[in-house]
Amino acid sequence: MTDLTRLTAAELSEKLASREVSSVEVTKAHLDRIAAVDGEIHAFLHISKDAIDTAEGVDVLRRTGSPLGPLAGVPIAIKDVLCTLDMPSTAGSRILEGWVPPYDATVVRKLRDANLIPLGKTNMDEFAMGSSTEHSAYGPTHNPWDLDRIPGGSGGGSAAAVAAFETPLALGSDTGGSIRQPAAVTGSVGVKPTYGGVSRYGAIALASSLDQVGPVTRTVLDAALLHDVIGGHDPRDSTSLRDEWPSFAAAARKGRENMSLKGVRVGVVKELDAPGFQPGVSQRFHETLDLLQKNGAEIVEVSAPNFEYAVAAYYLILPAEASSNLAKFDSVRFGLRVNPVGGGTVEDVMAATREAGFGAEVKRRVILGTYALSAGYYDAYYGSAQKVRTLIQRDFASAFALADILISPSAPTTAFKIGEKIDDPLAMYLNDVTTIPANLAGIPGMGLPMGLAPEDGLPTGLQLMAPARADARLYEHGAAIEALLEESWGRTLLSQAPELATR
Ligand code: GLN
C-alpha cells in the first residue's frame, strides 16, 4: 500500500474525494509518523487529541454526500504563534506556557470550516524572533536533512514537520522571512502573502506592520490550495484587504501544465545576488537562471540600491513594534505569574514575571525597541528607519516597472549547525537579507527548492517576489519553475532527503 505520508495534499485530496482512502486512515498515518520520528525532529510542541475524531466527522460528512472543499480531511500542522481554542498556544515562550486561548485565530477557524484536520502546534523561536528555532523556550527543532543542523526560523517546526513527512501542510508566519528561510533550508515550499491578504486576527503579534500568515508545504500547488482556504477579507483585522482574490490553485495548475516562462520578464535583483553568499547557493541560483532563460524567460538585471539598508531598518522597526506588542505580557492578563521572593509591588511582580518568562533574544529586542522609541531618539532611529522603508518600496516599484517577477536565493546559506550562531545575534540577523525587503514593502514572496548545494548536499531555496496583490503570479510562475527544476533533477528534492530512523 502507498505510504500516505509521502503524498502531497493535492494527491490526498483526490484519494479522499474518490473514497479510495478515508481521512481517519490519512490522519492515523501522519500521527504514526509523528510518533516514529518527532522524538528526533522535535517539530511539535503539542499534538492534538481530537485529530482522529475530527477526521471521523469528515468521513461521515463525505459518506453522507455533504459538499466538501478540496482539502477536507487533509491533516495540517499549525505554528504555535496562532491561537487555537482547543490547544495551548505558547508562541515558543515560557511566559505563555500552558495558555489556552479563548478563541481561534481567523485562519484556524477557516481551516476548521474547510474541514482540514489540525494535528498539533509546531515549535518556533520565541515570539517568532529568530532564524533557527534555537530561541524556542522548549528546545530546538532539528533539520530532517541533518539532525545536527537548524531547520531555519522562526517557523522551523512547521518546515521540519513538512520536510519530515509528518504533515503535508502547515501554517507559518513571516515577519522578516520566517516562512521562506525555513522552507529554503529544509527543501520545502513557503509563501508570504501580500500584506493584508491573510488575516492576522489571533496571530500573536510580533511586528504588526510586517507580520503575515502563510502556507508551508512540499509543492507550490499545495501552498496554493491552502492559500485559497486561509485568504480573504476579515472584518476583525483592520489591515485586511477587501480584494476578490483569484483561485491560486488554478494559477498553480496553469503554471505546472504550461511549464514555460515564455515572455515572462524575470528580474534579478543585483543586490540580492551577493558575493558573500555560500558558493553552492550562488551556483544553483545561476544554473536556475539559465534554465529559466532556456524556457522562454527574459532575464533582466534590476538594481535596488536601498536594500543595503533593509536589515538595519528592519531591526529598528521590528523591535519598536515588538516592544509595544509584548507589553501586554504583564503577569496579569496571560500565562505566567512570578511572585518575587519576600513579596513586592505590582511592578515588582511584572518585572519578576518578565525576567523569568522571556528569553534573551526577546529581552534584547524589547530593550532595543524601547530605546529606539524613546523621546530623544525617536526621529533619529525609528523615524529614519521608516524613511528607509519608503525608499525600499520605491526600489521595488522601479524594479517591477522592468520585470514581472523578481528572483533571488531565499537564504544566503544552507542550514548551519545548531549552536553555530546562537551567541552572535548579528550573524543570525544577516540570514534575513534576502527576505526582509518583501516584508518592508508588503509584497508577496515565495520560497521553493532550488537544488542541493554541491559542497554540503543540503537544500538551497529560490525566492520569487511579485507586486502587492499579484500573489497569483507567484503561484503560476512558481509552479512552472518547480516543474522545470524537478524535470532537471528527475525527482523531487525532498525524495532525496536521508531516511530518518523510526522508533
Ligand atoms: N529572522 C527574522 C527575525 O528574527 C524573521 C522573523 C520572522 O519572520 N518572524 O526577526
Q: Could you list the pLDDT tens digit for every one of the 503 residues in the chain?
A: 689 999 999 999 999 999 999 999 999 999 999 999 999 999 999 999 999 999 999 999 999 999 999 999 999 999 999 999 999 999 999 999 999 999 999 999 999 999 999 999 999 999 999 999 999 999 999 999 999 999 999 999 999 999 999 999 999 999 999 999 999 999 999 999 999 999 999 999 999 999 999 999 999 999 999 999 999 999 999 999 999 999 999 999 999 999 999 999 999 999 999 888 999 999 999 999 999 999 999 999 999 999 999 999 999 999 999 999 999 999 998 889 999 989 899 999 999 999 999 999 999 999 999 999 998 999 999 999 999 999 999 999 999 999 999 999 999 999 999 999 999 999 999 989 999 999 999 999 999 999 999 999 999 999 999 999 999 999 999 999 999 999 999 999 999 999 998 87
pLDDT value of position 1: 64
* Distance from the Cα of residue 273 to its chain's centroid: 22
In the chain, the amino acid numbered 54 is T
The answer to whether the beta carbons of residues 41 and 162 sit under 8 Å apart is no
Grid coordinates representing 265 are 520578464
Burial of 362 (C-beta count, 10 Å sphere; 0-12/13-18/19+): buried
Residues whose CB falls within 8 Å of the CB of residue 26, separated by 6 or more in sequence, listed in order: 4, 12, 15, 16, 55, 73, 74, 75, 117
Q: Which helix (H) or strand (E) element contains residue 44? A: strand 44-47
SS3 284: helix
Residue 189 grid coordinates = 515550499
Contact between 83 and 334 (Cβ < 8 Å): no
| Nearest partner of 74 among 16, 18, 120, judged by Cα | 16
Spatial contact of 493 and 187, defined as CB atoms under 8 Å apart: yes
175: Cβ below 6 Å to ligand 1?
Answer: yes
Give the cell for residue 381.
532611529
Beta strands 117-122 and 405-409, pairing class:
unpaired
C-alpha atoms less than 13 angstroms from C-alpha of 360 in its C-beta half-sphere: 6
Asked whether the beta carbons of 180 and 447 are under 8 A apart, the reply is: yes
| CB distance 106 to 148 below 8 Å | no
What's phi and psi for 349, nearest 5 deg? -65, -45
Check pocket membership of 131 for ligand 1, CB cut-off 6 A: yes
**Contact yes or no for 447/183 (Cβ under 8 A):** yes
Work out which ligand 1 atom sits closest to the CA atom of 179: 8
Closest CA to 75 of 40, 122, 36, 42: 122
Beta-strand relationship, 117-122 and 298-302 = unpaired
Alpha helices (H) along 216-309: 220-230, 248-258, 279-294
β-bridge mates for residue 215, sequence order: 171
Q: What is the pLDDT of residue 280?
A: 98
Q: Cβ(495)–Cβ(449) under 8 Å?
A: no
CA nearest to 90, candidates 405, 382, 334: 334
12 close to ligand 1 (CB < 6 Angstrom): no
Q: What is the 3-class SS of 480-500, one letter each residue? A: HHHHHHHHHHCCCCHHHCCCC
Residues paired with residue 213 on neighbouring β-strands, in sequence order? 173
Indicate the pairing of strand 169-174 with strand 445-452.
unpaired
Beta-carbon count within 10 A of 383 CB: 12
Where b means 16+ CB within 10 Å and e means fewer, 339-358 reads eeeeeeeeeebbbbbbeebb
Q: Ligand 1: which of 80, 125, 134 to mutate, judged by most atoms within 8 Å of the beta carbon? A: 125
In eight-state DSSP terms, residue 470 is -
Which of 79, 77, 91, 87 is closest to 138 using CA atoms? 91
| Beta strands in 221-366, from DSSP E residues, in sequence order | 265-269, 298-302
Pocket test for ligand 1, best of 175, 410, 431 (most atoms within 8 A of CB): 175
73 CA from centroid of ligand 1 (Å): 31
Determine the Cα–Cα distance for residues 491 and 432; give it in Å rounded to an integer: 29
User: How far away, in angstroms, is 129 Cα from ligand 1 center?
Assistant: 5
- In this prediction, residue 333 carries a pLDDT of 87
Ligand 1 near 207 CB (within 6 A) = no
- Ligand 1 atom at minimal distance to the Cα of residue 206: 9
Can you tell me which atom of ligand 1 is nearest the CA of 130? 4
Give the Cα-Cα-Cα angle 281, 285, 290 (nearest 5 degrees). Answer: 150
- 129 C-beta closer than 6 A to ligand 1: yes
Query: What's residue 72's pLDDT?
Result: 98
Q: Which of 223, 227, 198 is nearest to 213 (CA)?
A: 198
CB of 154 within 6 A of ligand 1: the answer is: yes
The answer to whether 440 touches 170, Cβ cutoff 8 Å, is: no
Percentages (nearest 5) of helix, strand, coil residues in the chain: 45, 15, 40
- Whole-angstrom distance, CA of residue 208 vs CA of residue 131: 18
Measured between alpha carbons, how far is 418 from 162 in angstroms, rounded to an integer?
A: 20
Does the C-beta of 150 come closer than 6 Å to ligand 1? no
In this structure, the residue with its CA closest to atom 10 of ligand 1 is 129
Structure pTM?
A: 0.98
Round to whole Å and give the CA distance between 238 and 200.
9
- State the pairing for strand pair 117-122/75-79: parallel
Half-sphere exposure of 363 (CA within 13 A, CB side): 12
Cite the active site residues. 79, 154, 178
Res 437: pLDDT:
98
Q: Specify the CATH class of 9-304+396-502 in words.
A: alpha beta
